[in-house]
Amino acid sequence: MNFFEHQAAARRTSTRMVVLFALAVIGIVIAVDVAVLVLLGSQMREDGGAVVGLLVFSTLATLAIIGLGSLYRLASLRGGGEAVALQMGATEVPEDSTDLQLRRLRNVVEEIAIASGVPVPKLYVMEHEAGINAFAAGYSPSDAAVAVTRGALERLNRSELQGVIAHEFSHILNGDMRLNIRLMGVLFGIMMLSIIGQRVLIFGRGGRSKEGTAVLVIAVVAMIVGGIGLFFGRMIKAGVSRQRELLADASAVQFTRQTVGLAGALKKIGGLHEGSQLADPAKTEEVSHMLFGEGRSFSRLFATHPPLVERIRQLDPLFDPGQLNELSRRWSVAPPNGLQEDLAMGLGNATPPPLPAVSHRMNVTPPMVAAQVATPTRNDYLRAGAMVGTISPELTAITRQREQVMPLLLALLLDASPQIAAKQQIEITSRMGPAIARQAAEIRNQHLVDLHPMLRLPLAALAFPLLRMRPRPALETFLDTVQAAVHADGKTSLFEYCLGRLLHVQLRESLDPSRYARFGRRKPGSVKQEFATLLAVVAQAGNADPAEAQRAYLVGLQRVLPRDHMPYAPPAEGVLALDGVWEPLDALDPLAKQVMVEAITAAISHDGRVRVAESELLRTICGVLHCPLPAMLEQG
């Protein structure tokens, strides 16, 4: 499956989860009603109306408890990935950490994020967990958090760590994260009765009165009925999670282009005493479906992951399960050390492909580009490493400084025209002060004038983790400044406009993660005018000749609306007309988005070639519409 098919499958899985949740609720309500009849029905046998009223009350009370429990849990997770990581006891990885294991983790995550075309997620480490495990949590890539155990950092070499992180990025890219975080909310609701029963038993043991005994009986019944909720909860998690874990393994292999790393990580889980187990059973129960490996022991019926041997054999068909016993004996004497294995194997042997010249023109086709969306390959990973290495140490240092990331991102938006840049600086000064405006100008003049176009989005991705740590008022002011800088002059380039919009989208999502998380359902026929506007602006921006621009527009339109006659009519307001198209287009059904990406690509590549600047524009537009493109377009 490609990205769009994964997204469509995630939406179907989300629907199936709702159905299973409804069935679980019905089962719990029936169990509660039966318990009420058994305990109290005999006392009301002669009054049928009272029995009916009692059943109605118990049904409504049960539904209220489940509903309020789910709403409460979802509200507690509104902070997205960061909230989940903190609730698991993870601590954030500092930007300037001198811990070699943490620095290696940050390097791997940054390179994979750049290769994938998404912002660098927040990084966390579960310091007191000796098992090998990890998870990615959040509603979207913009609020994603990746957490790994200290055991994973200590035991895995770089290749194995890459495989684990690539597996987690698959969940980020394919819509699994938002599904997982919603699953946490709804499952909490159906387990509320069990939780209430446990609390009542803990705090009500001393009651010896008749009323106290009745309360304890009710608590025991609540725990028994809650066991039904626990059964259904584990069944739902197992049904939703197992297949998606195999798909994530396959995506990780496609990314790294080798099976040794991921298979090695799984073998270490099977061969080490700690395995992938986490210490806190209660917390692990709730997040078990989003972990890299089983966080605790479950029967096969309730397992959230396929059997370990099955996962290894998917990667290494000749694997003999008996090898795990041999590895276990060897590692019981001398546990593996990931950093020492890196030194023994040698690093830096792969030669990354060089960045193409700015004047380079690529030969691509719309289906090729659509197939690349959120499907990074080994070459993309190597290119990402080359990009990070190409960025000057001074610029890299700026992305690590909390007070410098805002001026850096504003500098990326400053126009090449001195007149337009002057107007933009006036807008920056009026909103954020002369110091920020001066820093932005200095960064542009000293570091960005000759910056390769392909390094602008990676710079923004590297700066994003520190940017979103700023207080909400500061971010609101920054977003207002970004929009003012973009709209300072009607002649703003399409790339600068789209980069500003991309920053706006990503920050909005990081500020209110749950508000913007959704799977689109709209069809192309409902957004015809928005399609026409976007294609017209793209065609006009890429072609000085009006006849060529019209031809590019028609080529793109033929891809998405072949039966409709939408005349070429570039909007008078230019790129500003795009303000009204993003939300409707982003709400498209995943498979309709695939057609949209092909249409935009067709318009940009109508002459058979795509310039580097055009490829970066395409990547930026796709980023705004949540269809992230890897670091570089593959050529035919």
CB 538 within 8 A of CB 573: no
How many CB atoms neighbour CB 397 within 10 A?
Answer: 12
Residues whose CB is less than 8 angstroms from the CB of residue 117 and which lie 6 or more positions away in sequence, other chains included? 374, 376, 457, 619, 622, 623, 628, 629, 630, 631
- Given its phi and psi angles, is residue 298 left (phi above 0), alpha (psi -120 to 50 degrees) or beta? beta
Tokens representing 296? Answer: 């605790």
CB 84 within 8 A of CB 137: yes
Residues whose CB is less than 8 angstroms from the CB of residue 406 and which lie 6 or more positions away in sequence, other chains included? 432, 436, 467, 470, 478
Whether 129 sits among the annotated catalytic residues: the reply is no
Q: Which of 129, 168, 294, 530 is catalytic?
A: 168
Residues constituting the chain = 636
CB 565 within 8 A of CB 553: no
Question: What per-residue string of b and e applies to 37-67 under the rule 16 or more CB within 10 Å gives b?
Answer: eeeebeeeeeeeeebeebbeebeeebeebbe
Please give the Cα distance from 617 to 629 (Å, whole number): 11
Please give the Cα distance from 555 to 562 (Å, whole number): 10
Q: Which is nearest to 413 in space by CA: 503, 517, 536, 304?
A: 503
CB 255 within 8 A of CB 318: no
3-state percent breakdown (helix, strand, coil) of the chain, nearest 5: 70, 5, 30
Tokens representing 579? Answer: 């303000």
* 591 burial level (CB within 10 Å; 0-12, 13-18, 19+): middle
CB 223 within 8 A of CB 194: yes
Adjacent-strand bridge partners of 92? 124
Write the DSSP string, 285-326: HHHGGGBSS-SS---TTT-SS--HHHHHHHH-TT--THHHHH
Q: Which is nearest to 271 in space by CA: 308, 300, 240?
A: 308
* Beta-sheet strands, E only, within 65-216: 91-92, 122-126, 134-137, 145-149
Q: HSE of 3 in the Cβ direction (CA atoms, 13 Å)?
A: 26
Supply the Cα-derived Rg of the chain in whole angstroms: 27
Q: Which is nearest to 576 in space by CA: 452, 458, 487?
A: 487
Amino acid of residue 612: V
Q: In 3-state terms, what secondary structure has residue 135?
A: strand
* Residue numbers annotated as active site: 168
